[in-house]
Amino acid sequence: MTTNVTSEVRASYAYKTATNRLGLWLFLLSDSFVFGGLLVSRFYLLGNTRPHLDQTLGLIVTAMLLVSSFFMNRAETAIAHGDEKTFLRGTLITLVLGVAFLLGVVGVEWRLAPFGPADDVVGAVFYMMTGMHAFHVLTGVIFLGIVYRNGRKGLYSAEKHWQVEAAAVYWHFVDVVWIFFYPALYLIGTVAG
């Protein structure tokens, strides 16, 4: 009898969600060490200097990423209350802003930067930090695309929307990382000559 109860508990949505949630947070914790190492490397290698970057573009892409987090939060809250229309709209806006961020950093900033990844330590640090972050944003965009497609199929409800929660938590994590990377790359220190 206890074996049946145990297997029923493990098969339940609540149990799976709890174990998945733990796994996600452990993953994000381990990923934090990667980003923390990049941040430490930036200050160790560049000291009180920073790359010469387009300040306006940096502010614009940062604003897009922060606004995207607002819409992802709205989307997650909406599906938790059964509002599918607001959920889909918020997820789509988040997706568009995520793609715009990628285009701004990888498509524009990388081309405008007066250095390449192999030119010197400034280039190596800049491209490694922004490249690793861009990879995570791309992963988030793909994840959000899947969530959006599933949402259009009506696969989420107020009771069952773990995938939306996971996508939102991951997206917010990527945004928090950029909150540390942006000042480290664009604001702190004097421009490296």
Q: Which domains does the chain have, with CATH numbers?
A: 31-191 (1.20.120.80)
What percent of the chain has pLDDT above 90?
87
For residue 111, give both structure tokens: 């081309």
Please give the pLDDT value at position 193. Answer: 63
Average predicted confidence (pLDDT) for the chain = 93
Please give the pLDDT value at position 16. Answer: 86
Please give the pLDDT value at position 133. Answer: 98
Please give the pLDDT value at position 55. Answer: 96
Q: Which residue has the tokens 């990888």?
A: 106
Which one is predicted more confidently, 5 or 145?
145
What percent of the chain has pLDDT above 70?
94
Cα-Cα-Cα-Cα dihedral sign, residues 40, 45, 48, 50? negative
pTM: 0.91
> Which pLDDT band holds residue 160 (cuts at 50, 70, 90)?
very high
pLDDT digits (tens, 9 = 90+) for 5-63: 566 656 677 888 888 899 999 999 999 999 999 999 999 999 999 999 999 999 999 99
DSSP line for 52-85: ---HHHHHHHHHHHHHHHHHHHHHHHHHHTT-HH
Specify the 3-state DSSP secondary structure of 42: helix
Specify the 3-state DSSP secondary structure of 103: helix
